[in-house]
Amino acid sequence: MSGRILLCSSAGGVLLDLLSLQPWWSRHEAVWAVVRAADTEALLVEQRVLWIRERSVRRPLGIVPALGEAWRIMREEKPSLVVSAGSGPAVAFFLVSRLLGIPTFWVSTLNLVTTPGIAARICARLASVVLLQHETIQSAHPRGIVIGQLY
């Protein structure tokens, strides 16, 4: 894989899942589209970060500005791959990636053991590759690849 990787995240566990993949993504040009929070500011201080707004899939009309934001970032950054562990902000990036023909990797977060949330279900359906940390969630994502716990 060559080219730019766009890592899309909100704060908390989703961020930790993506940070645990640093041995892989640090070998590539990486840019973060991430929600501003105390942990994202502190943990990504040495990374290239594009701050995005927090989005919730529970507010369907919120997808409109989210799609605009994702479209602008994707057109400017031209990533070869988008990676996320879900969360609301990732949905727009995965939809735009699908429209632009850009592959996506979705990583099941550590806290999803049996039932994925709405954003996780959407991202997993749109993803080119689904990576699971628990075998217990494979029934919800039959095409998922169990990679084990990341941290």
Ordered mean pLDDT values, 10 residues apiece, the chain (151 residues): 88 92 96 97 97 79 88 98 90 97 91 71 93 85 88 82
Q: Regarding the domain delimited by 4-146, which CATH topology (the fold level of the hierarchy) does it fall under?
A: Rossmann fold (3.40.50)
Beta carbons of 24 and 42 less than 8 angstroms apart:
no
Domain range summary for the chain, segments of one domain joined by +: 4-146
pLDDT for 121 equals 86
Q: Which amino acid, 49?
A: V
**What tokens were used for 108?**
């099941």
